[in-house]
Amino acid sequence: MAGFSSEVTEREWKEVTRTRAPNRIVWIALLALVGCDRTANRESTAADGTGGIEVEVVGPGVISTELPEFASAFSPDGDTIYFNRTPSDRSSIGLFYSVHTDSGWSESRPFPPTQGITAIDPFLSSDGRRLFFATPRVREISGNESLSIWFVERTHSGWSELQEIGEPINSDSTDYFLSLATDGTVAFSSTRNRTLGIYISSPSPSGWSDPELLTLEGAPDASNPLISPDGTLMVVSATSEDGSSDLMVACRIEKGWSRPRALPDPVNSRFAEFAPAIAGDYLYYTSERPGIVGPSPDSIRPPGDLYRTPIRVLSDMCQP
């Protein structure tokens, strides 16, 4: 296996974060269709046109803590969560996991296959067999080192060694935040062609087709693409009219994808929202609103926590 670095290069960090809110950290992508309906503390409730929308902090004090957490993926039975956490100074990024028991979520621990390296944006296949993430490693094909998509595969004895997803998903540029529909369609972010954008690739006899750049009207800086398991909608993070990073949804239409629309309050806030994931009946995401830690001074970036809201907020926006 080729060597690797535990740090994202300065050039990659600037490329990946330049379209985010100020000082935004590398984000996440997540999860295919899984069953998860675990306890969480209610953060706030607001009304929309069809009824109340509940927004909850996930695993307060255990998963969401005073440290920055972002991105998540769940096992098919909903009993295991994989997520990113950084120390308070954001000097490194680790992939952690926690198991749900009768007494709640267990103490989070580093995910063994990625311990000691940078591994961001976890996404678990719907059958729970492959856990994808982005990591800065020397690529086996090109020999270049950059942030790219790798995975580990579940075996009878645990998890496999790290494996590169390879071409055409990976390129000589920065590739990250992969999501996967159940039919094999892949959506991910990439800086190939010297432009940060969302790319789509379909399954083919040889693996996947050549990725195509997805242009979403009104959201040129969209990133963090989460394609739904059935492929009918996509949640992205993009800059809103007030300049913050919001979650938006684009619906699959006859001629491609609709213009993304911002999710309603309180899913979005005046703080940054990003790294969407779908698990069971919920949309999971990261928000830097005051949560476990109260309001931060303007000069200090809020740590961010994991949140969830009922998934119907998405389906309601894609009704004919």
Among 145, 167, 122, CA closest to 7 = 145
pLDDT tier for residue 204 given thresholds of 50, 70 and 90: confident
Q: Is the pLDDT of residue 121 over 60?
A: yes
pLDDT at 46: 38
Radius of gyration of the chain (CA): 18
pLDDT at 52: 80
Asked whether the beta carbons of 289 and 269 are under 8 A apart, the reply is yes
- Alpha-carbon gap, residue 307 to 71, rounded angstroms: 10
pLDDT at 241: 82
pLDDT at 146: 83
Task: Dig out the tokens for 109 from the structure.
Answer: 């621990």
Q: Residues 3-62: pLDDT tens digits? A: 333 344 444 444 444 333 333 323 322 222 222 333 333 333 333 343 588 999 999 999
Q: Which residue has the tokens 């503390």?
A: 41
Q: Residues 285-303: pLDDT tens digits? A: 999 999 999 998 888 889 9
Q: Is the pLDDT of residue 198 over 50?
A: yes
Q: Is the pLDDT of residue 223 over 80?
A: yes
Q: Is the pLDDT of residue 150 over 90?
A: yes
Q: Which residue has the tokens 């935040």?
A: 177
- If one compares 23 and 284, the residue with the highest pLDDT of the two is 284
Q: Which of 45-59, 120-134, 179-193, 270-284 has the lowest mean pLDDT?
A: 45-59
pLDDT at 240: 86
pLDDT at 243: 83
What pTM did the predictor assign? 0.84
pLDDT tier for residue 144 given thresholds of 50, 70 and 90: confident
**% of the chain beyond a pLDDT of 90:** 68
Asked whether the beta carbons of 137 and 151 are under 8 A apart, the reply is no
Q: How many helices (H) and strands (E) does the chain have?
A: 2, 26
Q: Is the pLDDT of residue 2 over 70?
A: no
pLDDT at 298: 84
Which domains, and CATH codes, for the chain? 10-317 (2.120.10.30)
pLDDT at 23: 32
Which uninterrupted H or E stretch holds 141?
Answer: none
Q: Is the pLDDT of residue 194 over 50?
A: yes
Asked whether the beta carbons of 119 and 5 are under 8 A apart, the reply is no
- Alpha-carbon gap, residue 86 to 94, rounded angstroms: 6
pLDDT at 213: 95
pLDDT at 24: 32
- If one compares 284 and 193, the residue with the highest pLDDT of the two is 284
**% of the chain beyond a pLDDT of 70:** 84
Asked whether the beta carbons of 141 and 166 are under 8 A apart, the reply is yes
pLDDT at 13: 43
- Alpha-carbon gap, residue 193 to 301, rounded angstroms: 31
Q: Is the pLDDT of residue 180 over 60?
A: yes
pLDDT at 208: 92
pLDDT at 67: 96
Percent helix, strand, coil in the chain, to 5, is 5, 45, 50
